[in-house]
């Protein structure tokens, strides 16, 4: 199968440990294409997907977006960066849902099947307000996915949250844009990422959002299981809008 992964920095794999390479190793007979771009929100990703052209048909499109629509609210620096990069966040659940629906429509015209993946975390403390906001996005994604015959929803958030401690979770949050940039620049190996994650008290992420080795393995394994259940039942119409 030919599998295209659309998303933000979690798909691109910088900063942190990329899940993409682990997924490739798990699916050696398939061709995977990484279409991740750092900072993408549901709006900017939709606009990018509308412009991009992937050569050849796509059997499965993996869509993983949403965390930046919440992360943009975490600090003034994040908000300013979104404006600078022309990656606007959705203003509310209704706007998020509208653009996510358009994204699904576009991908369904280009791929046989679409795997819609829930956003993961903003901080590993699932009780914080940012993760409560993400829960709302997950509900929207699950509902929209059910309205398309060719779309399957993967509740990745639930799959991985089971690995987090029930008590005394780290309250570390990636509030500093500069710190995220430094992590991307200077943490060049999984060992370095894992060392910093451990120092911050984090289990699955480097900074509460981006993955460490354990998180990357967990994401790849969950995606592989979901992809294995998909069979392209609809002919992809590559290049059509």
**Phi/psi at 102 (nearest 5 deg)?**
-65, -35
Query: pLDDT band for position 168 (50/70/90)?
Result: confident
From the list 56, 71, 75, the residue with the least C-alpha distance to 3 is 56
pLDDT of residue 230: 86
Are the C-beta atoms of 203 and 124 separated by less than 8 Å?
Answer: yes
List domains and CATH numbers for the chain.
2-228 (3.40.50.1110)
Angle between helical axes of 177-186 and 76-84 (0-180°, round to 10) = 70
**Phi/psi at 2 (nearest 5 deg)?**
-105, 120
Kindly give the residue spans of alpha helices, DSSP state H, lying in 54-92.
67-71, 76-84
Are the C-beta atoms of 155 and 119 separated by less than 8 Å?
Answer: no
Q: Global pTM?
A: 0.93
Q: 61: which strand partners?
A: 4, 114
pLDDT of residue 86: 95
pLDDT of residue 11: 98
Residue 237, pLDDT above cutoff 50? no
Residue 239, pLDDT above cutoff 50? no
Q: In b/e form, how buried is each residue of 92-118, taking b as 16+ CB within 10 angstroms?
A: eeeebbbbbbbbbebbbebbbbbbbbb
User: Which residues have CB under 8 Å from 57's CB, separation 6+?
Assistant: 2, 112, 236, 238
């Amino acid at each position: 199968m030919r599998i295209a992964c659309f998303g933000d920095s979690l798909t691109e794999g910088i900063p942190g440990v990329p899940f993409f390479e682990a997924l490739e190793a798990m699916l050696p007979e398939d061709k995977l294409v990484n279409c991740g771009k750092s900072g993408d929100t549901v709006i900017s990703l939709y606009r990018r997907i509308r412009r991009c052209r992937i050569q050849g048909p796509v059997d499965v499109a993996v869509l993983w977006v949403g965390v930046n629509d919440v992360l943009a609210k975490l600090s003034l620096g994040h908000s300013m960066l979104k404006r600078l990069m022309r990656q606007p966040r959705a203003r509310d659940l209704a706007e998020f849902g509208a653009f996510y629906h358009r994204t699904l429509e576009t991908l369904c015209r280009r791929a046989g099947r679409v795997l819609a993946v829930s956003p993961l975390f903003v901080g590993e403390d699932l009780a914080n307000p940012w993760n409560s906001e993400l829960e709302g996005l997950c509900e929207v994604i699950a509902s929209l996915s059910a309205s398309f015959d060719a779309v399957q929803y993967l509740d990745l958030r639930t799959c991985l949250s089971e690995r987090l401690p029930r008590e005394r979770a780290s309250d570390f949050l990636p509030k500093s844009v500069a710190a995220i940039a430094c992590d991307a620049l200077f943490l060049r190996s999984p060992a370095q990422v894992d060392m910093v994650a451990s120092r911050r008290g984090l289990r699955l992420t480097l900074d509460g959002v981006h993955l460490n080795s354990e998180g990357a393995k967990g994401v790849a394994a969950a995606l592989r299981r979901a992809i294995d259940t998909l069979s392209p039942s609809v002919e992809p119409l590559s290049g059509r809008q």
